[in-house]
Structure 1
Amino acid sequence: MALSEHEQRLLDEMERSFYQSEADVMQTVPGARRRMNYRSLVLGIVVVLVGLGVLVGGVAAQQLWLGLIGFAAMLGGVMLMFVRGSETNLSADTVPGENPGDSGAQSAARESFSERMERRWDERMEGER
């Protein structure tokens, strides 16, 4: 079923508005396209546990400086858990799990949302005939 001109214009306007708002959100949220760095997470947990052990050891030995070192290690471990490395950035052209050298993968990644939906709609309509 085809859309009237008015409906098509409204749909195009809504789509442009959606893409504009999406672009605004992506620009204001730094790191929105990043993945979790599990290596830093695990390393941070280990550092926190070691720091906790040093802190407890410092309290048991009544050594203030050892307790402070343990606390600093725990703080550093927590900070390390939430660090997201630069190697985890996803570029706009690549999709996780695909090789960027594949020309088919690049063309599929560059295909906009509306183009994908239009292609899928056309495929669906051709299948009904």
Structure 2
Amino acid sequence: MPLSEHEQRMLEQMERALYAEDPKFATALEGSALRTYTRRRVYQAVAGFLVGIALLMAGMVAQQIWVSVVGFLVMLGCAVLAVTGWRKAPKPGEQAAGPPAARQSRQRRSMMDRIEQRWQRRRDEQGQ
């Protein structure tokens, strides 16, 4: 459920107060959840890649082509997951300017403005 305008403003005020009071703590909290999620995703992809290699080799040893193909597909899928997870991970020490909620709020406002303009155009078109 999205936040109301008043709740968004209150959240932004609390974030600004946190940044003003303890910027080091606020910066530490900023990307930790995303880093943990992407790190875990990359580790899972690496483990899956190793399982794919094992399947590929087992299929070759047992002379079962379909097992080797499954192993290759598992390797391919896990490699894609690892690369996409790695690209999304924030770099150590990389910080964006300002509180993240303020940036998101600006993006939401511009999106809301576009939606409102479209809604208004539709209402005007239906009224004519």
Q: TM-score, normalised by structure 1?
A: 0.40
Q: TM-score, normalised by structure 2?
A: 0.40
Question: In terms of Rg, which structure is larger?
Answer: 1
Higher relative contact order (CA 8 A, sep 6+): 2
Going by fraction, where is helix more abundant, 1 or 2? 2
